[in-house]
Amino acid sequence: MARDNKVDDVVILGGGVCGLYAARRLTAEGFSVSVVEKESFLGGLAAGIKIGQNFYDQGVHMLHEHDREIYEDCMAMMGDESVSVELKARIRWQGRFYRYPLQFGDMIKGMPPLTLGRAVAGLFLAQIRNKVAPWEPRNCEEALIQLYGRALYHYFFEDFTHRYWGRHPSRISAMFVKRKMPRLTAVDAIKKLLGHIGLREKGGRAVESALLSETLHYSATGSEALPRCIAERVRKDGARFFTNSSVRSIKVEDGRIRSVNIFNSQTGRRRTLPCKHVISTIPVTTLVDSLRPHVNGDIMDSCNYLQWLPIAIYGLLVKKDKVMDALYTYYRHRVFHRVGEPKNAGLKVTPEGHTVLIVEMTCQEGDEKWTGTDEMRSRVVSDLEKEGICREEDIVEMNLIRNRYAYPVFSLGYEPHYEKLMSCLAGIENLQSIGRQGGFTFPGMHSAMRMGASAADQILNNQMSNK
């Protein structure tokens, strides 16, 4: 086993945008950094996969401008590779297209009058109940009813949430609504009205949804450009990258990590990386596993309560110049839940006269979507045809891309187990577990990079105060 004589200031586990941005911050300040990535490529979920002559995103990925500091730094690193594009997203619902994020006015237009009456009455009742007798929802179903009322929940959320997450909302934690669910403007409208008559309630909010109108950032090679540009800068600034390398074990002594042991799946070689600090962005459960025997069986049991929802994506090369009006469209009653046409955001597609479609489906590991059975392919093609997107004879390539760790699942009762894991990790002085997988949360790329920057800042500040 190779042992580095060099002691890194920081070893970063995982080369997604969170880990890469932590490396960016640290190397810019002259810190020595090693990044360990299990895949042959960097970028994690944001990496584009090159198949033939085209790049396929793992679900169309565009950078938001919300975090100005990170956005400006990314733009500087990407230079003229960045392409700005106005958000144009749609929801297909009840046979019509609506703007995404869904607006209250659009929703009204799509509802039969009786259902609409029930939905508005339900919303009012829910808001008044929250004000007069506040209550704590026990699961996602109750949290959605609390937020939107019973009628709207049954009409709009119940079935889609069930199909998307592969479990009924009553089996999902209420926390999911706070952390992940986009907020409908309807609630704001009702709250405003209630505010005028002195009935505004506190708390119980879902997260802000995407803005209706905003500029997104992409590239001619798709989402792969952003992580590639960050990695190039970080490499120039002296970072070492260990790709095809997964974390095997982590040595902890006196409450501090001393070294990380990694295994290269291509060469079969093991290597020990001594270090002063570790920033981990790999799934928190994998991290805990590699900390054995430092962690006990009780903590290992808690890992079983933290699950991820995988995603299966068909990257299609289609012999048509353009097939959709929007950048992407959400579908509520198809085998896929979203279809994106990244060419509309500036993706260069080869050969000319062709386009690429990114067809997204959440799934379970090992199911038909995950394995990509012939039957599943036929269902996808058939639904694309039914939606008038493309015909079977236009499809030149149909590539299945999968990611096991797409979405953390806030299953019912996961919270104490999550807390237990996190407080166990907090007991290791020089370790931070962050990002989508390390924090078990749902950031956009900008928020994942912000987590990386903050973790780096914590190390930089410690160093300053120890001088």
Ligand X SMILES: Cc1cc2nc3c(=O)[nH]c(=O)nc-3n(C[C@H](O)[C@H](O)[C@H](O)COP(=O)(O)OP(=O)(O)OC[C@H]3O[C@@H](n4cnc5c(N)ncnc54)[C@H](O)[C@@H]3O)c2cc1C
Task: Give the binding site for ligand X (CB under 6 A).
Answer: 13-19, 36-39, 44-46, 59-64, 246-247, 281-283, 286, 311, 360, 405-406, 435-437, 443-446, 448
Residue 355: both structure tokens together: 């386009």
- The CB-of-244 to ligand X minimum distance in angstroms stands at 10
Of 191 and 436, the one with the shorter C-beta distance to ligand X is: 436
Residue 24 · residue 70 · CB < 8 Å: no
- The CB-of-17 to ligand X minimum distance in angstroms stands at 5
Residue 183 · residue 205 · CB < 8 Å: yes
- The CB-of-286 to ligand X minimum distance in angstroms stands at 5
Task: State the Cα–Cα distance between residues 337 and 278, nearest whole angstrom.
Answer: 37
Angle of CA points 186, 121, 98, to nearest 5°: 35
Of 61 and 191, the one with the shorter C-beta distance to ligand X is: 61
- The CB-of-66 to ligand X minimum distance in angstroms stands at 9
Of 267 and 378, the one with the shorter C-beta distance to ligand X is: 267
- What is the residue-wise DSSP string for 27-79? HHTT--EEEE-SSSSSBGGG-EEEETTEEEESS---B-SSSHHHHHHHHHHHG
- The CB-of-57 to ligand X minimum distance in angstroms stands at 8
- The CB-of-223 to ligand X minimum distance in angstroms stands at 8
Backbone angles phi, psi at 331, to 5 degrees: -120, 135
- The CB-of-361 to ligand X minimum distance in angstroms stands at 10
Of 104 and 160, the one with the shorter C-beta distance to ligand X is: 160
Report the candidate in 225, 213, 270 with the shortest Cα–Cα distance to residue 50.
Answer: 225
Of 122 and 340, the one with the shorter C-beta distance to ligand X is: 340
Q: For residue 22, give the DSSP letter.
A: H
Q: In the block, which residue shows the tokens 């074990």?
A: 249
Task: State the Cα–Cα distance between residues 150 and 125, nearest whole angstrom.
Answer: 9
Of 39 and 201, the one with the shorter C-beta distance to ligand X is: 39
Report the candidate in 276, 248, 263 with the shortest Cα–Cα distance to residue 11.
Answer: 276
Of 9 and 360, the one with the shorter C-beta distance to ligand X is: 360
